[in-house]
Amino acid sequence: MEDEVVEKATSLIKIPVTLEIPIGPQHPAIHEPVLLKVYADGEEIVGVEIGTGYNHRGVEKLLENNTFYKDKFIASRICGICNTVHENCFTRAVEYVAGMEPSPRAKYLRVLVMELERIHSHMIINAIMAEIIGFDTLFMYIMRDRELVMKAKEIVSGGRVLAEFHMFGGVRRDIDDIKRDRLIEILKKVEPRLKYYRKLFENDPTISKRLTEIGVLKAKDATSHGMLGPILRGSGIRSDVRAEDKYDAYGEIPFNVIVRGEGDSLARMLVRWDEALESLEMCKYILEHLPSGSAVVDERKLPRTFPPGESFARVEAPRGELTYYIQHTGGNKPYRVKVRTPSFNNIINSGFSYLGHSIADVPVILVSYDPCISCMERAIVVDLKKGVEKRVTLREIAMGVAAP
């Protein structure tokens, strides 16, 4: 960080966000788990340093030391909120290496589970955004309606949060007609709520005043800094892994790629609500057009070792593009597995976008990039002139209480 920036700044706000990024075999014992060091001159931000203090748990080395089958379970525990997409990406990467192809019914069921997860993840981040700007009631309402989606996910896969649903060559459980009817009932209840929240985010003056024109990202900046997912689509670039790679059953299910041109925080949140509505339509389509046949894989007949090969699988996680790269030289343990979660690009490369805004906007912009929530700890505001430290919550920063 340049020294003249530090001199001009009057206060330094350290925002620790612990992300579950599985990079490297080591645990980083960096002195403080500080992520965003925001140098502020009065109210205006003059410099941002992304300090890297993630809690990694040595996942990549762990993946190299275990067999492929155990790795699938470890991979889904990299992130609890988007665990099905991690599983799906790893499973497909191994299927490309081994040359396996799942049955059509299995592909449709995989998409069903992933879309249900997308709905619940977008609801969470919007609830957090409402809470950060002080709209507590909306947070509680969204969380209450989210329970319906969790129930639906439990009916399909057997787990509310961790849906260990995928297996190489297919899935592990199937749904029958009773479950299908129950799912359609639940989706019918969720739909008017999603539409109501979408309308609320667009029309409510509290929300739109805090979110409009904040954190504007031009298309050029978004691509040259490697931002992904709803951030790209909120700035006008039409790029969605589901429409490009057409993996699993996405080639057959009709859906729209949501793009908005404004590039500010409101556009990003509205992209997420629109995507949640699209996912709902896709779930309804899947439940009505499920192909017949068997979906469950007989795990006793799966091979013990896999042929050598190299593959690169991408998946559209709720936060962006998630990629798994596997290089295998033979045997039952992979040679190299590299996981790149979307928050790795979105959060580390995003330091440029806070400059010029005021302190109260920093949590709004950070939450609109969708870092992993519920790991938001307290922030520390350091008044550089007086040398005084004060602990505040992110919510207090957003409501403007924290400025010294």
Partner 1 sequence: MSRLIKYSPWLVHFNTGACNGCDIEVLAAITPLYDPERYGVKLSPSIRHGDILIVTGVVTKKAAERLKRLYEQMPDIKYVVAVGACAYDGGVFKGSYSISGGANKVVPVNAYVPGCPPRPEEILRALLLLLKREKVEETEQH
Partner 2 sequence: MKPNRPRFHIDANNLREVIALLKQRLGEESFYISNIIGVDRMAEGIIEVNYFIHVVPLANTIVIRVTVPRDKPQVPSLIDMIPGVYSGECETYDLLGVEFIGNKYLRRGFFVPIDVASKNVFPLRKDAKV
CA-only gyration radius of the chain, Å? 22
Q: Does 385 bind partner 2 (CB under 8 A)?
A: no
Q: Does 345 bind partner 2 (CB under 8 A)?
A: yes
- Smallest gap from Cβ 60 to partner 1, in A, equals 10
Select from partner 1, partner 2, none the partner in contact with residue 60, using the beta carbon and a kind-dependent cut-off of 5 to 8 Å: partner 2
Residues 89-148 touching partner 2, rule: CB under 8 A, are 96-97
Least distance between partner 2 and beta carbon 376 (Å): 21
Select the binding partner of residue 23 from partner 2, partner 1, none (C-beta < 5 to 8 A, by kind). partner 2
Query: Residues 305 to 334: which contact partner 2 by CB under 8 A?
Result: 309-314, 321, 323, 325, 327
Binding segment (CB under 8 A) for partner 2, from list 37-45, 227-235, 300-308, 391-399: 227-235
Q: How far is the CB of 173 from partner 1 (least distance, A)?
A: 17
Q: Which residue's CB is nearer to partner 1, number 349 or number 393?
A: 393
**What is the spatial distance between Cα 402 and Cα 14, in angstroms, rounded to a whole number?**
12
Q: Which is nearer to partner 1, 91 or 235 (CB)?
A: 91
Cβ proximity to partner 1, 373 vs 380, nearer residue:
373
Q: What is the 3-state secondary structure (H, E, C) of the chain?
A: CCHHHHHHCCEEEEECECCCCCCCCCCCCCCCCCCEEEEEECCEEEEEEECCCCCCCCHHHHHHHCCHHHHHHHHHCCCCCCHHHHHHHHHHHHHHHHCCCCCHHHHHHHHHHHHHHHHHHHHHHHHHHHHHCCCHHHHHHHHHHHHHHHHHHHHHHCCCCCCCCEECCEECCCCCHHHHHHHHHHHHHHHHHHHHHHHHHHHCHHHHHHHCCCCCCCHHHHHHCCCCCHHHHHCCCCCCHHHHHCCCCCCCCCCCCCCCCCCCHHHHHHHHHHHHHHHHHHHHHHHHCCCCCCCECCHHHCCCCECCEEEEEEEEECCEEEEEEEEECCECCCCEEEEECHHHHHHHHHHHHHCCCEHHHHHHHHHHCCCCCCCECCEEEEECCCCEEEEECHHHHHCCCCCC
Least distance (Å) from partner 1 to the CB of residue 156? 17
Which one of partner 2, partner 1, none interacts with residue 100, CB within 5 to 8 A by kind? none
Q: Which of 66, 67, 103, 349 binds partner 2 (CB under 8 A)?
A: 349
List binders of partner 2 among 33-62 (CB under 8 A). Answer: 52, 54, 56, 60-61
97 is in an annotated binding site: no
- Residue 89 counted as an annotated binding residue: no
Residue 348 touches which member of partner 2, partner 1, none, C-beta under 5-8 Å by kind: partner 2
Q: What minimum distance in Å lies between the beta carbon of 115 and partner 2?
A: 21
Site for partner 2 in 351-370 (CB under 8 A): 352
Residues in region 190-219 near partner 2 by CB under 8 A: 219
Does the annotation list 111 as a binding residue?
no
Could you tell me if 82 and 372 are in contact, meaning their C-beta atoms sit under 8 angstroms apart?
no
Tell me: does residue 28 bind partner 2 (CB under 8 A): yes
Residue 1 touches which of partner 1, partner 2, none (CB < 5 to 8 A by kind)? none
Give the interface with partner 1 as residue ranges (CB under 8 A): 18, 20, 25-30, 33, 55-59, 61-62, 65, 73-74, 77-81, 83, 124, 140, 143-144, 147, 150, 160-162, 372-375, 377
Longest pairwise C-alpha distance within the chain: 71
Q: Are 157 and 114 in contact (CB under 8 A)?
A: no
Under rule CB under 8 A, how many of the chain's residues touch partner 2? 48
Question: Smaller CB distance to partner 1: residue 83 or 126?
Answer: 83
Question: Which of 233, 299, 330, 328 is closest to 272 using CA atoms?
Answer: 233
Q: Quick check: 306 and 328 in contact, CB under 8 A?
A: yes
CB 197 within 8 A of CB 273: yes
Is residue 120 classed exposed, middle or buried when 0-12, 13-18 and 19+ CB atoms within 10 A define those classes?
Answer: buried
Binding site per annotation, positions for Fe cation: 82, 375
Binding site per annotation, positions: 60, 79, 82, 339, 372, 375
Binding site per annotation, positions for Mg(2+): 60, 339
* Contact positions vs partner 2 (CB under 8 A): 23-30, 52, 54, 56, 60-61, 96-97, 219-220, 223-228, 232, 237-239, 243-245, 309-314, 321, 323, 325, 327, 336, 338, 340, 344-345, 348-349, 352
